[in-house]
Amino acid sequence: MIQDINNGVAKYVATFLLVNMMSSAAQSQDLTLPQDGAEPVILPLVGIHWAQVRPSELLEVFVGPAESCCEGRIAITGQYTRTDDALTFLPAFGFETGQDYVARIRIPEANDDFVSFSIPPDGLAVDALVTATYPSGDILPENVLRFYIHFSTPMSPQVAFDYIKLRDAAGNVDNAAFMRFKQELWNEERTRLTVLIDPGRIKREVATNVELGPALRAGQLYTLSVDGGWPSADGASVLPPFSRTFSVSLALRERPDVSLWQATVPCVGTTDSLYIAFDRPFDRHLLSKDIQVAAGDGQIVDGTVHVGEGETSWSFTPNDAWTQSELVVHASTELEDVAGNNFHDLLDHLETTADTEVATSALPINLNSCSQ
């Protein structure tokens, strides 16, 4: 009978009873390794009786080669499943094609055994490149919260911060600038990585900010860099060095308000675009989905969104000609500017200045009645 064992199981004291002692070499020889990303690692338990033991105390999987395992590395999270004669492990997001992995097997009264493996690549290889970074503006506020880094091909996971660095004008690296999660924040295709500045470096009167100061300071220049050598997930190429330099302005500490947006309106009966200039840069990913246009009767208008340079403007082109002169542009109250402020709340506010009122997020628009 299969028993699923969750990662969050409380820690137990390991109790092993070896009926027939197996060497680690024999154990690794019997290890079943995945041939595609959806298959698990399977460790046979023949000859081993174990009770009240966390599966991770017997089997863990890490990203990278065996030679560098496993000091300073965090094991991949996933699901363990135990049967009477085997323990299986499948990562939460599957194994990546071309990525090197190492399984660490811990047998009682024997040395740890390390088994290297990778998933064979398929299809044509694409050279690894950084294709875009957001926010894309040359000037960013002191309290910018996140960066999106886009790649031309899926990248090897769990090694991002071996390569991604924030440097000041003198070239000094701030090793405490970014939040480091157990699981990196990739999109499903593993071609877009979200990197967050540690909020503790942003929020005033928080211990990390008091101790280290902000990661970015107004009036200074900084460089977001991705060092060369990062392998693609299929192992077919490595990333060349990439960097972009930006200057820092004063922090954004006011909530968004659509009354501060400036609209350039089209004519009824045309398919010309509705254009909106913002008072600040907004989150690039959220801009593509968190603003909608509704007609006067409340029906959502279908069309194409374009995000402008520096994420400081937005335009909408309808699929069909505008038929009503009265429109409403609805921004989701969860839409964030680049500092993580939304219409509900500020990311960073002092307790004495907290404001529970939701800022305006609906912008009425009257189209022009132009003669044909």
Mean pLDDT of the chain: 83
Whether 228 has a pLDDT exceeding 90, the answer reads: yes
Which of 118, 141, 159 is the C-terminal boundary of a domain? 118
CB atoms within 10 A of CB 154: 20
pLDDT band (50, 70, 90) for residue 7: very low
Q: What percent of the chain has pLDDT over 90?
A: 47
333-337, 342-346, 360-364: segment of lowest average pLDDT = 360-364
Domain shared by 296 and 362, yes or no: yes
Domain shared by 321 and 359, yes or no: yes
What average pLDDT score do residues 273-288 get?
A: 95
Neighbouring-strand partners of residue 66? none
Question: What per-residue confidence (pLDDT) applies to 109?
Answer: 65
Domain shared by 139 and 245, yes or no: yes
Whether 351 has a pLDDT exceeding 70, the answer reads: no
Domain shared by 233 and 299, yes or no: no
Residue 371 maps to a domain: no
Instruction: Compute the distance between CA of residue 15 and CA of residue 52 in angstroms, rounded to an integer.
Output: 7
Domain shared by 245 and 134, yes or no: yes
* Number of domains comprising the chain: 3
pTM above 0.75, yes or no: no
Residue numbers of the domain that contains 59: 3-118
Residue 229 maps to a domain: yes
Q: Is 183 exposed, middle or buried (0-12, 13-18, 19+ CB in 10 A)?
A: middle
- What are the structure tokens assigned to 316, written together? 């909408």
Judge whether 344 and 358 are in contact, CB under 8 Å: yes
Judge whether 266 and 367 are in contact, CB under 8 Å: yes
Judge whether 257 and 360 are in contact, CB under 8 Å: yes
> CA–CA distance from 93 to each of 35, 40, 76, 88, 186 (Å)?
15, 11, 10, 15, 10
Helix (H) or strand (E) holding 27: helix 24-29
Residue 123 maps to a domain: no
Residue 33 maps to a domain: yes
CB atoms within 10 A of CB 165: 19
Domain shared by 110 and 172, yes or no: no
Residue 304 maps to a domain: yes
Residue 125 maps to a domain: no
Which of 84, 118, 152 is the C-terminal boundary of a domain? 118
Instruction: Compute the distance between CA of residue 203 and CA of residue 301 in angstroms, rounded to an integer.
Output: 39
Residue 372 maps to a domain: no
Buried b (16+ CB within 10 A) or exposed e, 218-253: eeeebebbbeeebbbbbbbbebeebeeebebeebbb
Q: Summarize pLDDT for 56-69 with one digit per residue, the tens.
A: 888 899 887 777 67
What average pLDDT score do residues 192-209 get?
A: 89
Top-confidence residue, 294 or 355: 294
Judge whether 367 and 162 are in contact, CB under 8 Å: no
Residue 124 maps to a domain: no
Domain shared by 135 and 184, yes or no: yes
